[in-house]
Structure 1
Amino acid sequence: MADGSEGALALVAGTGALPRLIAEDRRRRGLPLLIVRFEGTQAPWAEGMDVLDLPFEKPGRLFKALKAKGCDRICFAGAMARPKLDPLRLDLKGLALIAKALTLLRKGDDGMLRGFASIFEDEGYRMVGAHELLQDLLAPAGVLGAVQPGEADREDAARAAAVVEALGAVDVGQAAVVASGVCLGVEAIAGTDALLSEVARVPARLRAGEAKGVLYKAPKPGQDWRLDLPAIGPDTVARAAEAGLAGIALAADGVLVLGREETVAAADAAGLFLWARPPETAPEAP
């Protein structure tokens, strides 16, 4: 979707490369942008840009600033920790929203983000996804690097895809690692890096067969693609290599590859395959 709106974009920035890539693209194209950094977010790349720093408990101040800056769209990008709200810091708007916010914080990631998105939509703002702003980030079907997955790797990717689909159906995670048909780990609230660190510690006696293993990532079934699409980058490749895996498989056209040239080069250098798996090959959920 082309970004042809005249209004400014409010970028709610989390950690990682994605919000920086969006901000740099908009600055390069001369498009209006307000970066929102909630308390506790580390985004040093935003210094010198138009930035609003504020605590979660001040939504009234946030909406006032969005209106003053002419924002009409909101994008959530990057990882953010779940806030611990302090009722004593709430402004009037926060007091009106606190009951809903506390309910949302008890949901899974997709349910929580959908709920917070609805708060912005109720105020008249349109949510946009990172893949709408940077359209070349989604990995197209096919092997992206020089290393090809073997037959055992493809079978492990199929098994991992079934695991991820089952996890996603209950709003738990977007990734799993499978080796020789055995699930070595699944993604939960701590994210993919924690999953790969866990897999790296799995003892050899628990690894069946000869296959090294595959990390598979995909959106959750029915996920709102404007919010928290799965992503990989060079750091993911490095951690997959440290975990001793054969490669990384992605749901084609459903996973963001941040810094594609660097990510593919890192995979080639590490001897890992990087495969965007076409949807027609995905098995039905068990």
Structure 2
Amino acid sequence: MSRIALIAGEGLLAPAVAAALDQPLVYALDHLKPQVAARPFRLERLVPFLDELADQGVTQVVFAGAIRRPRIEPDLFDPRTMTIVPRILMGMQSGDDAALRAVLDVFEESGIAIRSVDEILPDLVPQEGVLTGTPSPRDQKDAARAAEIVAGLGALDIGQGAVVAQGLCLAVEALPGTQAMLDFAKAHAGLKPDPRGAGGVLYKAPKPGQDRRIDLPTIGPDTVSQSAEAGLAGIAWQAGSVILLERANAIARAESAGLFLWARG
């Protein structure tokens, strides 16, 4: 019987995906703390882990949640995983997308198909439209500028987000993640030319050419609260390409804080 496995990362996405699947087998890298019960595995023993999936009848896998890079312990590699180490390490040195692609390739070569989160839960990925609030003409220009910046960053496999206020880039997303980017934007809010002008926009989008089956950008209620604390006017993202967690809660927080939420076409 064909089964599906969930590779759980941290955050609220993994529990949402687990709830939508029929008795999935749930696993997580052993250095992570997912919010769903999961069996641990190590990257250094990836091939034996794939054998375990095959023994359990797993033919499909979905990755969901934030995955922090593990600290590699060379002494823990088994002989068969050792043969693919160069591919994995080369990917990890190139950037997040390259590292994930290397891992996906290994899964697929083992006969395991990769399913995307938006295939399982399409309602988590809003299509074009404003969910709440009204982006001003200045906000729309800031979102357009941020989209250009994210496309440039993504081409270098750096990040999936940027904050732009009054045409100026206040922060970009890098390895520390979205919260660190918003904290930086908050700390440097005084750099806006007009203190009473446009507050700024957080924009998120996948990297150009990114494999959509894994690591789609994600926003949620906490992102809304952090954006409000940073003094931003709202959040925009590439329509049909970003996961919105707890939509009702995110919208309620945005309305309470006076922020707009916009799936930008």
Q: With structure 1 as the length reference, what TM-score do the two structures score?
A: 0.89
Question: Helix, strand or coil for the counterpart of 2:262?
Answer: strand
Answer yes or no: is 1:9 the counterpart of 2:39.
Answer: no
> How far, CA to CA, are the matches of 1:104 and 1:160 in structure 2?
27
**Structure 1 stretch 34-43 or stretch 58-67: which is displaced more?**
58-67
Native 8 Å contact 1:160 1:176 kept in 2: yes
> Secondary structure at the residue paired with 2:214?
coil
Indicate which of 255, 274, 285 corresponds to 2:242: 255
Total equivalences in the alignment: 263
TM superposition shift of 1:203: 4.7
Q: Say yes or no: does 1:23 pair with 2:23.
A: no
Q: Which of 268, 275, 278 is residue 255 of structure 2 equivalent to? A: 268
Alignment of 1:209-248 (within 5 A): 209=194, 210-248=197-235
**Given that residues 179 and 208 in structure 1 are in contact (C-alpha distance below 8 angstroms), is that contact kept between their aligned partners in structure 2?**
no
Correspondence 1:154-193 to 2 at 5 A? 154-193=140-179
Choose from 95, 99, 123 the match for 1:112: 99
Q: Distance in 2 between matches of 1:44 and 1:186?
A: 27
- Does residue 277 of the first structure (1) align with residue 264 of the second (2)? yes
Deviations 1:49-73 (A, max 9, x none): xx42122211233112201221101
C-alpha separation between the residues in 1 aligned to 2:221 and 2:10? 15
Does the 8 A contact of 1:218 with 1:250 survive in 2?
A: yes
The structure 1 residue matched to 2:192, chosen from 199, 207, 210, is 207
Query: Any conservation in 1 of the 2:12–2:35 contact (CA below 8 Å)?
Result: no
Q: Which residue of 2 aligns with 1:35?
A: 26
SS in 1 for 2:157: coil
Q: CA deviation at 1:75?
A: 1.3
Shift in Å, 1:216: 0.5
Say what the alpha-carbon RMSD is for the aligned residues: 1.2
Report the 3-state secondary structure (helix = DSSP H, G, I; strand = E; otherwise coil) of the residue aligned with 1:12.
strand
> 2:98, 2:82 → 1: CA distance?
21
Structure 2: how far apart are the matches of 1:52 and 1:94? 19
Deviation at 1:45, TM superposition (A): 2.7
Moved over 6 A (4+): none
Distance 1:7 1:238 in 2: 41
Shift of 1:194: 0.8
Q: Secondary structure of the equivalent of 1:11? A: strand
Give the drift of 1:262. 1.0
- Aligned residues of 2:238 and 2:263 also touching (Cα < 8 A): yes
CA distance in 2, matches of 1:150, 1:104: 41
TM-score for both structures, normalised by structure 2? 0.96
The answer for the alignment partner of 1:70 in structure 2 is 57
Structure 2 unaligned blocks of 5 or more: none
Equivalent pair of 2:124/2:243 in contact (CA under 8 Å): yes
Q: Is the 8 A contact 2:170 2:189 kept in 1?
A: no
For 2:238 and 2:14, how far apart are their aligned partners in 1? Answer: 22
Q: Which is worse superposed, 52-61 or 174-183?
A: 52-61
Is the CA contact 1:141–1:253 (under 8 Å) kept in the aligned structure 2?
yes
